Amino acid sequence: MNQTVTVIGAGIVGISCALELQRRGYQVTQIDRRGPGEETSSGNAGLLSYSNITPLADPALLRRLHRLILNQDDDFLLHYPHLISLIPWLLRFVVRCKRKIYLRDGAAMNALTGASIEKHKLWIAQANAQGLLNQGGGLKLYRERETFLRDQLERELLTQCGVRHRLLDPQQVYELEPDLKHVFVQGVLIEDTVSIRNPEKLCKAYAQMYVDAGGQVRRATVRSLRRSADNWELNTDQGTEAASRIVVCMGAWTPEIIGPLGYSNPLAIERGYHTVFAPGQEARLSRPIFDVDASYVMAPMEMGLRVSTGSNLTYRETRPDPRQVERVLPRVREAFPIDENLLPEPWMGRRPTVPDTLPIIGAAPRHPNLWLAFAHSHMGLTMGPISGELIANCISGTEQPFAINACDPARYL
């Protein structure tokens, strides 16, 4: 029996799919234009948090919808030339901003997140990558009491899903992080959160396990797929080749490949930026913080303090727009002593998002031997391993660990 699979994409999701399939006995070839983990997967905040279960379609957004549309808040930036083409996506998103839907989608995300983080822990040990782990939880911090109260539904979801978290008064916040400046009135400690001190290195460590076990990684740009008799034809910049089974894990670039097969584009592209600072003299940050009112995450990493911004909803290839970075930098300095900026210009990544925030994982609805794993929004790093397991189960016919209807590609494709 033919046991070959071609995985297109070498971000964290593609790496995870390749590794899981290999461990089921498949001969796997992975193709990407760049090396493992060198695109979007390299630039995230590094969080592996059990609290990464909150859908973006939060009912609280409706109360400030006018501010978001007018680009008045730093956590969201809308590129107006993109607005007309984005209206169908935005309408589907707004319809989901209801309490019942939020809690239901959050429960589905919880099943994915919890299982994936446990698999991460196993793989980190197997890859001898424990040195990349930062323990101690994650802090969500509030400058305004009103903002803290606005997030009550999120905390209800965490409680419903059994995610351990603890409310902190200002004194408790500064006991945990003494070098924070005194601008916060409330904190929430997500107790079991761990973070990665270099996400790209983690991706490469997983990829190395796959290669060491005989897996193949090839650099090539896949231009198109075509069904031919009982096989697939891949057209790449290096020629045309045949493949019996295909898994597409190309993130924001997936619609480019599957669109010609008749699948509509379900994505909005959230572009995100980060920059890196040296900490101020003798200042230390021991865990990631999310400064909610200032709309940034700051995480201690090997290269310094990585500061990540909110969402910029725009075309995938529009020129970079660093406004969100520029806006948050004064707020960062209000909260923590930082020194020089270590990046000559902000890093930019593209986060592919569907209205319900849940990834698209499973068989393509109308084509045999084609599977999809993309649209992970902000949770690609967190959900990589479980995505690989679910895809490997689909292909091998293994029973899934839980119902995955919420991730069914047919809901958008």
- 346-403: pLDDT as tens digits: 999 999 999 999 999 999 999 999 999 999 998 999 999 999 999 999 999 999 999 9
Q: Are 356 and 57 in contact (CB under 8 A)?
A: yes
pLDDT of residue 1: 46
Band of pLDDT at residue 254, cut at 50, 70 and 90:
very high
Reported as a single tens digit per residue, the pLDDT across 137-191 is 999 999 999 999 999 999 999 999 999 999 999 999 999 999 999 999 999 999 9
Please give the DSSP secondary-structure letter assigned to residue 344.
S
Averaged over 191-207, what is the pLDDT? 97
What is the number of alpha carbons within 13 Å of residue 362 lying toward its C-beta?
17
Q: What percent of the chain has pLDDT over 70?
A: 100
- In terms of pTM, does the model score above 0.75? yes
Q: Is 113 within 8 Å of 378 (Cβ atoms)?
A: no
Q: Residue 25 has what pLDDT? A: 96
Q: Please, what sign has the CA dihedral across residues 177, 334, 143, 321?
A: negative
For the cut 70, the answer to whether the pLDDT of residue 224 exceeds it is: yes
In order of 41, 148, 170, 360, the CA distances from 28 in angstroms are 21, 47, 52, 21
Task: Judge whether residue 19 has pLDDT over 70.
Answer: yes
Q: What pLDDT was estimated at residue 391?
A: 98
pLDDT band at 33 (very low <50, low <70, confident <90, very high): very high
- Residues 400 and 389: their CA atoms lie apart, in Å, by 9
Q: Which candidate, 396, 317, 326, places its Cα nearest to that of 349? A: 317
Encode 279-319 in three state secondary structure. Answer: ECCCCCCCCCEEECCCCEEEEEECCEEEEECCEEECCCCCC
In terms of Cα–Cα distance, which of 86, 300, 409 is closest to 76? 86
Which phi and psi angles does 312 have, rounded to 5°?
A: -120, 105
Integer Rg of the chain from CA: 21
Cβ neighbors of 168 (< 8 A, separation 6 or more) are 139, 176, 186, 187, 188, 189
User: Given pLDDT bands bounded at 50, 70 and 90, which one contains residue 264?
Assistant: very high
Four-CA torsion 139, 143, 145, 150, nearest 10 degrees: -70
**Confidence band for 290, pLDDT divided at 50, 70 and 90:** very high
Mean pLDDT of 289-305: 97
User: What is the chain's mean pLDDT, rounded?
Assistant: 95
Residue position matching structure tokens 């924001």: 252
Q: What is the pLDDT of residue 281?
A: 87
Render pLDDT for 52-103 as a digit per residue (tens, 0 to 9).
999 999 999 999 989 988 989 889 999 999 889 999 999 999 999 999 999 9
The Cα angle at residue 154 between residues 152 and 158, in degrees rounded to 5: 115
Amino acid 23: pLDDT: 97
What is the C-alpha to C-alpha distance for residues 236 and 368, in angstroms, rounded to an integer?
21
Contact between 302 and 131 under an 8 Å Cβ cutoff? The reply is: no
CA-based nearest residue to 16, from 394, 380, 402? 380
User: Structural domains in the chain?
Assistant: 4-41+201-266+356-411 (3.50.50.60), 55-97+129-194+269-349 (3.30.9.10)
